[in-house]
Every structure is written in structure tokens, then in C-alpha cells.
Amino acid sequence: MSLARVACRVVGLWLAAGVAVSASRTAASLNDQSGASLLAERTRLALGVTQAKLRSVILSGYSEGGRYSDLTGKLRPGQVPVEFRLLLPDSYVRIDQPNGAVIRRGVSEGRPILSQEAVGPGAYVSPAVPTPDLLPFARSDLFRLAVGLFAVEQFGTERANVTARGSATLEFTGLANRVLLDVDSRSGLPRRARYKQLVVMAESIQRTLGISLAEDGSDEVAMEYSDRVVVDGVSLPRVWQRVVSGAKLERITLTTIRINPPLSARDFRF
């Protein structure tokens, strides 16, 4: 066999191997996408959001363990009324009412929401201005809530990329965020949502909790869901437990759940 024919044969084998590897990688990618699609669809079916054609939600209850004293490093006792409004695909607000004040944080139609006002006698709060630099943080809150509770993929004109991480975890990437949604293998319902977030906490509080937080925002935050109830065909957890480095921080307990209430953009203007 001539050297030219040998060279051609070697090149042919190399090309064939390259095609085989490429085909193998393509098949693996398609399998990953297919697995993610099936798991995501199973999760949404278990949640009931597909049948209910989820458009809006109002959730209200109270928050505990979210307020620590920077002076003593200890938890301030008491419950703080809290409400969450979600109007898909792009509006969200959280409303807290601590000690005669009302604090609103969120995003609507691409604009950040931030307002503080005193509503009780003797209460005082400093004014708040929703500057544009708050928008990424507000969009992160929207993304984490909507993915964690409802496995939402569409956010305004943007669509999250969803991939499978094993057989019981979905990875949602979008709005410059990444959320890992751990799903119960039997029920298909979300157990918790995990994401990286900068947690600002005084050293005295960290010592009380027995943790040491990173300064670069690399700590993993987990929102654990429990005590589920079905309302108008949609499954929702009544208890959300926020955990950072093994320490249990804020705990949300819902007392009222409304599915598809008549919300509009006006309900997010403050």
C-alpha cells in the first residue's frame, strides 16, 4: 500500500472517529435535555400548575427568625406579617409589616420596587428609593421564588435553561441566576431550592449561630419546603425554612393561599 493511501486511510479513520464522538456527545446532550424536559414536566404536573394554568398568586402569613440584633447577636422574638404577590411572567413583590411599618421589595415590568412607610402610631422609617442598581437583586428574588415554588421557566421575554442533574435535581439558569431544584423521587414535588447568595450578617450573629459566612457570596442558601396543601388544584408548601451553612434562619409560615387572584400591574405600583 502506498504512503498516500495509508495517509488517506488514517485521515478517514480519524474523521470517522470524530464523527462517532460527535454523534455520541450529541446523543448524550439530547438525552440530558430529554431527561430534563421529562423531569420538569413531571414536576409541574405534580404541582398542578399545568392544569391550573397558573397566572398569579397571593400568599400571606408570617415570618419568624429573620431578624437578629446586631448588638446582641440574638434572635428578636416575634412574628412579622408577610405577603407575597406573583404575577407571571415578570412581576413580584414581598411585603413585610414589622413594628408599624410596611416594607415592599420586588420587581414589576422591568422596574425595581422598594418602598417603606410608617403606618402605626410612633413608627418611623427612612425613605427608600428604587434605584436601577436594585434591579438584578429584585429579579433574583423573582427567579428563586417562581422556580422554587412552581418550576417556572418563562420570565417576561426570557426563558430559563433547564437541565437535569441526576435523576432528582433540575438546574434552572436564567436572569443571571442559577437554582438547583431538588425533587422528591416518589411524588415529583420540590423538596428544596438551592442557590448561591451573598448573606450579610454581623459576626456576633454568626458566632451565636455557630457559622462562618464567606464574604464573596459563595455560600449556598437552601429554601426547604414542607407541610404541603392543595389549593385550587395547585400544591404549595405552607412552611418554608431558609438554611445557610446548616443554620436555620428565616422561617415562613403561610396562612392564606390564593391561586389566580385578579392581579394586575396596578397591584405592584407603590
For residue range 36-55, list pLDDT tens digits in order.
Answer: 889 999 999 999 998 889 99
pLDDT at 102: 95
For 106, the enclosing helix (H) or strand (E) is strand 101-108
CB 87 within 8 A of CB 102: no
All cell numbers assigned to 217 = 457570596
Name the 3-class secondary structure at 152: coil
pLDDT at 32: 58
pLDDT at 8: 42
pLDDT at 17: 37
Q: Is 146's pLDDT higher than 90?
A: yes
Tens of pLDDT along 65-81? 887 777 777 777 789 99
All cell numbers assigned to 1 = 500500500
Q: What is the DSSP letter of 201?
A: -
Tens of pLDDT along 104-142? 999 999 999 999 999 888 778 888 889 999 999 999 999
Confidence of residue 33 (pLDDT cuts 50, 70, 90): low
Handedness of CA 268, 112, 110, 257 (dihedral sign): negative
- Report d(CA 207, CA 197) in Å as an integer: 20
What are the beta bridge partners of residue 180?
Answer: 171, 194
pTM of this structure: 0.84
For 120, the enclosing helix (H) or strand (E) is none
For 227, the enclosing helix (H) or strand (E) is strand 220-231
- Chain centroid to CA 224: 11
